[in-house]
Amino acid sequence: MDYLACLIVVLQLYERRFVDATVKLTNNMNLECIYPKTAGITQMSWVKSIATGKETIAVSHPLYGVHIEDKYKDRVRFINASSRDKSLNFIKTTEADMGLYLCSITFPGGVWEKVVQVIQPDSFLAPVLTTNHTITESGGNVTLRCPYSVGGLVQQVMWERIKVDRMDTIVLCNLSEGKTYGSDYQERAMIDCATQESNILVIQNVTASDSGIYRCRYDGNKTHVMSLTVSSGKGAGTVFIAGVLRAIEANCQS
Please report whether residue 10 resides in a domain: yes
Q: Which pLDDT does position 81 carry in this prediction?
A: 64
**Residue stretches of the chain with pLDDT short of 50:** 1-16, 235-254
**Which of 123, 147, 164 lies at the terminal end of a domain, its last residue?**
123
- Count other Cβ atoms within 10 Å, centred on residue 95: 9
CATH number, domain with residue 9: 2.60.40.10
* 3-state secondary structure at position 188: coil
Q: From CA 207, how far away is CA 230, in angstroms rounded?
A: 6
> Residue 174 pairs with which residues in a beta bridge?
156, 178
What domain range is 137 assigned to?
A: 133-253
Whether 128 is in a domain gets the answer no
Boundary residue ending a domain (98, 123, 148):
123
Q: What is the pLDDT of residue 164?
A: 86
pLDDT of residue 49: 93
**Assigned domain for 21 exists:** yes
Query: Nearest 5 degrees, angle CA 133-CA 139-CA 144?
Result: 30
Q: Which residues in 43-64 are b (16+ Cβ under 10 Å) and which e?
A: ebbbbbbeeeeeeebbbbeeee
Q: Same domain, yes or no, for 79 and 99?
A: yes
Domain co-membership, 87 together with 37: yes
Q: How many independent structural domains does the chain possess? A: 2
Query: What is the model's pLDDT at position 195?
Result: 67
State pLDDT tens for residues 5-24.
333 333 333 444 689 999 99
